[in-house]
């Protein structure tokens, strides 16, 4: 895809290669588990790599390839790998890049299970980790050890919307022979391209904005370097967290309207954040589009927009938040984010409940914090509904 095209054009056409047999514009769904060989010799050659071609859908399928092509284009990587879930993308990356005796530095504030699986499960395999405030670059530098192989940041972070400097972390990682991976789920490829800023790996939960229709769980890993891509691809195919062709087709269909949806959701989020910031019942709004956000300038520099997710605290603490969640009617009370509809939830008791309380509070995930993912509704309806429910 020509990088000179505008974002909407890129999203509409990324990776597109209409079906060569019939010219169908929408990609066919190759709903098959396996592929017939013309001869035993062909089967042997496909397995040995002497001949390209499909073998078995866990190892590759034309519909999942179509989605991977589009994502590699949009994130400016050498290749993309699509996975059954976002967590599968995270754990496949951990497994591929970290061996017993290695160490990882991660953002203290990230999607709860992505941190907990490292601290609870990978630690049992003798892989060490330190999760800290990666927006503090001195803290990142100090946490690096001779055996640090990976810095993994989530920016903006779920759910505090804290921002980490991608280019600076890439520099720190590379000075120490480590790789930098970035979970860029909150902004999607239309608003942030970590590889352009020096990152080696981009992770997405495509359950969120990329699919955008709240009907599929999916993930992706996009790499800058061919060797890293091939290493992770080999592990993914063996561990088995690959994507089904039907799932890939749905995500590709959702992807084509990503820029449109993101534009509408982001415009709504900006107006709603301004409304909430000025509302007497609200103590603080955390949204990278507001000048009050502590890393507003950094966000402006490294991203094309603040996205459509925010968090806020009410003056009345958790009880006021609970009452708001029970009284809101346009936004739905549900976890997840990045869909066409607005969703509201309480991280401390829901998405981040698996993180022990002391670590959660240290990461800024207070008991009073409410997270809101803004959808494509009419913003007037969202504002009126919040005004009523806050009252």
Catalogue the active-site residues: 58, 111, 183, 208
- 219: tokens are 């993930």
Element (H, E) at 226: helix 226-239
Look at the block and give the residue holding tokens 């509704």: 377
Cβ closest to ligand LCS, residue 85 vs residue 242: 85
Helix/strand/coil for 217? coil
CB of 203 to ligand LCS, least distance (A): 7
Please report, for residues 116, 182, 238, the alpha-carbon distance to residue 224 in angstroms, rounded to integers and kept in the order given.
27, 12, 22
Cβ closest to ligand LCS, residue 77 vs residue 86: 86
- How far is the C-alpha of 336 from the C-alpha of 259, rounded, in Å? 19
Cβ closest to ligand LCS, residue 207 vs residue 268: 207
Contacting residues for 80 by C-beta, under 8 A, at least 6 apart: 67, 68, 69, 70, 71, 72, 220, 221, 222, 223
- Under 8 Å between Cβ of 207 and 88: no
CB of 47 to ligand LCS, least distance (A): 31
CB of 6 to ligand LCS, least distance (A): 26
CB of 161 to ligand LCS, least distance (A): 11
Cβ closest to ligand LCS, residue 199 vs residue 383: 199
- 343: tokens are 């969703």
CB of 336 to ligand LCS, least distance (A): 4
Residues near ligand LCS, by CB under 6 A? 85-87, 111, 114, 154, 158, 183, 185, 205, 207, 217, 219, 335-337, 351
CB of 110 to ligand LCS, least distance (A): 7
Cβ closest to ligand LCS, residue 259 vs residue 309: 309
Cβ closest to ligand LCS, residue 161 vs residue 259: 161
Find residue 113's DSSP bridge partners.
Answer: none
Contacting residues for 11 by C-beta, under 8 A, at least 6 apart: 74, 189, 190, 255, 256, 257, 258, 259
- Under 8 Å between Cβ of 248 and 278: no
- Under 8 Å between Cβ of 256 and 103: no
Closest residue to bound ligand LCS by CB: 86
Nearest to 113 by CA among 131, 99, 96: 131
């Amino acid at each position: 895809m020509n990088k000179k095209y505008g974002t909407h054009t890129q999203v509409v056409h990324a990776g597109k290669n209409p079906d060569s047999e019939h010219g169908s514009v929408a990609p066919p769904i190759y709903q098959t588990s396996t592929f017939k060989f013309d001869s035993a010799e062909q089967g042997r050659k496909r397995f040995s790599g002497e001949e390209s071609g499909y073998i078995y859908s866990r190892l590759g399928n034309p519909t999942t390839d179509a989605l991977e092509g589009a994502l590699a284009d949009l994130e400016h990587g050498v290749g993309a790998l699509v996975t059954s879930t976002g967590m599968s993308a995270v754990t496949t990356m951990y497994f591929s890049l970290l061996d017993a005796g290695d160490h990882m530095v991660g953002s203290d504030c990230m999607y709860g299970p992505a941190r907990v699986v490292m601290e609870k499960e990978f630690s049992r395999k003798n892989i060490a980790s330190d999760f800290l405030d990666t927006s503090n670059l001195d803290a990142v530098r100090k946490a690096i050890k001779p055996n640090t192989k990976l810095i993994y940041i989530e920016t903006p972070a779920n759910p505090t919307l804290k921002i980490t400097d991608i280019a600076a972390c890439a520099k720190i990682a590379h000075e120490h022979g480590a790789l930098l991976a970035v979970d860029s789920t909150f902004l999607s490829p239309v608003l942030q391209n970590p590889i352009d800023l020096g990152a080696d790996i981009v992770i997405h939960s495509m359950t969120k904005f990329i699919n955008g229709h709240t009907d599929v769980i999916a993930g992706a890993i996009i790499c800058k370097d061919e060797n890293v891509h091939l290493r992770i691809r080999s592990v993914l195919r063996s561990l088995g967290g690959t994507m089904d062709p039907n799932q890939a087709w749905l995500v590709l269909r959702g992807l084509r309207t990503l820029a449109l949806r993101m534009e509408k959701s982001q415009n709504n989020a900006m107006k709603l954040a301004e409304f909430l910031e000025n509302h007497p019942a609200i103590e603080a709004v955390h949204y990278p589009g507001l000048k009050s956000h502590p890393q507003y300038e950094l966000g402006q520099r490294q991203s094309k927009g603040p996205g459509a997710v925010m968090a806020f605290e009410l003056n009345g603490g958790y009880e006021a938040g609970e009452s708001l969640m029970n009284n809101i009617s346009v936004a739905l009370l549900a976890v997840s984010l990045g869909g066409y509809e607005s969703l509201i939830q309480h991280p401390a008791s829901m998405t981040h409940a698996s993180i022990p309380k002391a670590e959660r509070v240290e990461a800024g995930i207070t008991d009073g914090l409410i997270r809101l993912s803004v959808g494509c509704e009419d913003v007037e309806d969202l504002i009126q509904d919040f005004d009523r429910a806050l009252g």
